[in-house]
Amino acid sequence: MVFSEINVMLLGWECLFCLVAAVSMMEGRYSEKKGWLIRMQLTAALLLACDAIACYYDGRPGTATHWVLVVANLANFLLMNSVLLLFHRYLCCLLLKEGERQRLGLVKAVELVCLGAMALVVVSQFTGWYYRIDETNHYVRGPMYLLSLALPFAGLVMDGVLLLQYRERVSRRMFRVMTAFFLLPLAAAVVQMFSHGLSLIDLSVGAAMLLIYLIVNREQQAELRQAQEERAVVAQRLEIAQTLNRCVEKLSSGEDISTAIRDLLWIIKEYFQADRAYIFENDPVRRVTVNTYESVEPGVEPQIENLQEVPMEVLSMWMNQFRRGKKYFIANIEQEKETPHYKIIKDQDIQRLLTVPLLEQGQVIGFLGVDNPQRHFEDETLLSSLQFFVTNSLRQKKEQEYLQQLSFTDQLTGLYNRNRYNRTLQLWQEDCQNQVGILYIDLNGLKQVNDTRGHAAGDKLIRDTAGVMEQIFPGQAYRIGGDEFVVICQGTPEPEFRAQAAQLIEQTGRQGISLSMGLLWNPQCPDLPAALKEAD
């Protein structure tokens, strides 16, 4: 009696679990695999309920009890084979593609075995082959009871062969739980051949359903996490792509390259939520690297003026990484205490930074970086993707400056030419200067030198004159004609300017160069063309 009560209680609890499992699986997105699992859980719950009823009423007197036992035991045998058939369908859905299910003979054989077993259960109801309910309402095994176990056993074996054949299509965890579904009922069937105490087969089916639910739920959670991670990766890649498009659009907008690069750094700074984004360019001759562009967050002190001549030896660890095409990432500045760059980074109040090399023909020409990034700081994808575009823009900028230099430079003397002279006049209207000294100079005797000694000697005379001018007035002298020069000196007090003019006359005189010079100094000069005319 005690065994009967324990049996009923265990069957009842497993029935309840299968119902709860079925209901919980109904939530969320429906799939074919989930559909077979839900049917299997519901059928297993009904199986366990029927077995519990049969056990509870077994041996109790009464005609009504007799019919309850007949129906419950019939349902029990039918449902057992139904669970196996549903498990087979789930296994096929898990392992096989649609075409394979229809083509494999083993799949059809298992279904035929299950359907044949259910047909024999119905026949047994009238013949007593499998079992009968005696006069005292006790369940009694029939002469062919072993056949009722052998047919499901054969179906399970064939499903086991199918699982082994396609085991690489499921995870190791799922393979183990599927194996448990085979082994638990088979082991229970062997024991139940010799024992009537507990409904071991049905209880093993319930336990197997528990394992399947737990593992499937765990795998679904893992798939959900993976899907979320993949969505996060896709979202990050999309953000990188959108940011990259904005950056490339800025660089190819046709506006001034320097302005475009600064706008680009602002976008990069916003993407990383950094304090500062910047570009350094290397000067291999002087062995220094120079901060040429930066974008800073409001409230953050700019550093570009403090980082104009950084010795490459200080950043030797960075350069070694850059030569290998790798980033240099500082997660925590305190971990860099023993490095040569620690002090210069610490003095800028930098706790974390990310930098990537700028490469041109395999050579490191500089680097692109961000200070104190708050997000994406371990992913250099955006910076690395921009490396080519930034390098190309810097090259274009240098070419542009070189062409501008050519257009503004007199090829014979190296002084500014008339183009730069006209540009200076134009800019003066926008921003006039105070304390302006002007020299209007003619080189005497140039025609005579050309006529008597040749144009090579005349060119030398012009170059010698320009050399003295550039020495005394660096970056302030213009050659505006064959023998005409102009000096525009801004922000120089009058005594100093007149001393420089006298020095020019003295030095050219020592070289045998004769100059005619008009000098003018104004504390204020709102009209530069008028002042130049007066000096002329």
Supply the pLDDT for residue 237.
66
Supply the pLDDT for residue 47.
92
Residue 2 in this model has a pLDDT that exceeds 70 = no
Where on the phi/psi map is residue 30: left (φ > 0), alpha (ψ -120 to 50), or beta?
beta
The mean pLDDT value for 448-454 works out to 87
The predicted-structure confidence for 375-389, as pLDDT tens digits, reads as follows 877 777 777 777 777
439 phi and psi angles, rounded to 5 deg:
-120, 130
Structure confidence at residue 82 as a pLDDT band (50, 70, 90): very high
Supply the pLDDT for residue 236.
64
Residue 444 in this model has a pLDDT that exceeds 80 = yes
Residue 3 in this model has a pLDDT that exceeds 70 = no
Nearest to 87 by CA among 189, 204, 224: 204
- The 3-state DSSP class for residue 289 equals strand
The predicted-structure confidence for 421-437, as pLDDT tens digits, reads as follows 888 888 776 666 677 88
The predicted-structure confidence for 17-58, as pLDDT tens digits, reads as follows 999 988 988 887 788 888 998 999 999 999 999 989 988 888
Instruction: Please give the DSSP secondary-structure letter assigned to residue 8.
Output: H
Among 214-228, 397-411, 499-513, top mean pLDDT goes to: 499-513
Contact 12/19 with Cβ under 8 angstroms?
no
Contact 167/209 with Cβ under 8 angstroms?
no
Contact 276/269 with Cβ under 8 angstroms?
yes
Q: Which residue has the tokens 């760059």?
A: 341
Residue 255 in this model has a pLDDT that exceeds 70 = no
Provide the CA 347 distance to its chain's centre, in angstroms: 31
The mean pLDDT value for 57-80 works out to 91
Residue 347 in this model has a pLDDT that exceeds 60 = yes
How far is it, in rounded angstroms, from Cα 136 to Cα 271?
Answer: 82
Residue 357 in this model has a pLDDT that exceeds 80 = yes
Structure confidence at residue 64 as a pLDDT band (50, 70, 90): very high
Polymer length of the chain? 536
Nearest to 365 by CA among 306, 402, 323: 323
The predicted-structure confidence for 113-139, as pLDDT tens digits, reads as follows 999 999 999 999 889 898 888 888 888
Supply the pLDDT for residue 218.
82
Strands 434-443, 328-330: pairing is unpaired
The mean pLDDT value for 268-283 works out to 89
Supply the pLDDT for residue 238.
66
Residue 411 in this model has a pLDDT that exceeds 80 = yes
Q: What is the mean pLDDT of the chain?
A: 85
Supply the pLDDT for residue 432.
65
How far is it, in rounded angstroms, from Cα 514 to Cα 366?
Answer: 48
pTM: 0.52
The predicted-structure confidence for 218-230, as pLDDT tens digits, reads as follows 877 877 787 677 6
Nearest to 303 by CA among 331, 336, 280, 273: 280
Q: Residue 75 is which amino acid? A: A
